[in-house]
A = this chain, B = another copy of it.
Amino acid sequence: MEDYLAHAKVFKALGDPKRAFILNMLSYGELCACVILEKFDMSQSTLSHHMKILCDCGLVNSRSEGKWTYYSLNQEAISKAMGFFNAVTSSKDNCISNEGFDCRKG
Q: Which residue of B lies closest to A14 (CB)?
A: B11
Q: Name the B residues within 8 Å of A95 (CB-CB).
A: 28
The B-contacting residues of A in range 74-100, CB under 8 angstroms, are 75, 78-79, 81-82, 84-90, 92, 95-98
Q: Which residue of B lies closest to A85 (CB)?
A: B82
The B-contacting residues of A in range 12-30, CB under 8 angstroms, are 12-21, 23-24, 26-30
A102 in contact with B35 given A85-B81, A89-B75 (CB within 8 Å):
yes
A68 contact from B9, B31, B103, Cβ within 8 A = B103
Number of A residues with CB within 8 Å of any CB on chain B: 51
A52 CB within 8 Å of chain B: no
CA gap between A32 and B101 in the complex, in Å: 8
A98 contact from B30, B84, B86, B87, Cβ within 8 A = B30
The reply to whether B27 and A87 form a contact with Cβ atoms under 8 Å apart is yes
> Shortest 8 CB-CB distances between A and B: which pairs?
A12-B15, A29-B98, A11-B14, A4-B17, A8-B17, A32-B103, A27-B88, A15-B15
